[in-house]
Amino acid sequence: MRYVFIAALLTTLCGCSTTDRFKMYDGMQRASFDLDCPESELALTPLGANQMGVEGCGKKAAYVATESGWVLNSESSRSE
């Protein structure tokens, strides 16, 4: 719980958006690994204060901010 408070405090102080926090706290690297897709091909969609949608290489994933960092909450593949 302490880390969530610290993250919330830092976000308030720096005025960071969810997208900025996702990038700052290794969310892009995690999403690139999970989706097997280069970071340069990932598109981000804020889904809420502590949630981020990521889309790339024909896949979608949702991440949630936790004390441990960004955690994959769901994943789906698109058929093309």
Q: Phi and psi of 26, rounded to 5°?
A: 65, 20
pLDDT score of 17: 81
**What are 10-38's pLDDT values in tens digits?**
544 445 688 888 988 889 999 999 999 99
Q: Which amino acid is at 27?
A: G
Could you tell me the pTM of the whole model? 0.73
How confident is the prediction for the chain on average, in pLDDT? 83
State the Rg of the chain over Cα.
13
Indicate the pairing of strand 51-56 with strand 59-66.
Answer: antiparallel
Instruction: Determine the 3-state secondary structure of 60 from DSSP.
Output: strand
Given a contact cutoff of 8 angstroms between Cβ atoms, the answer to whether 71 and 63 are in contact is yes
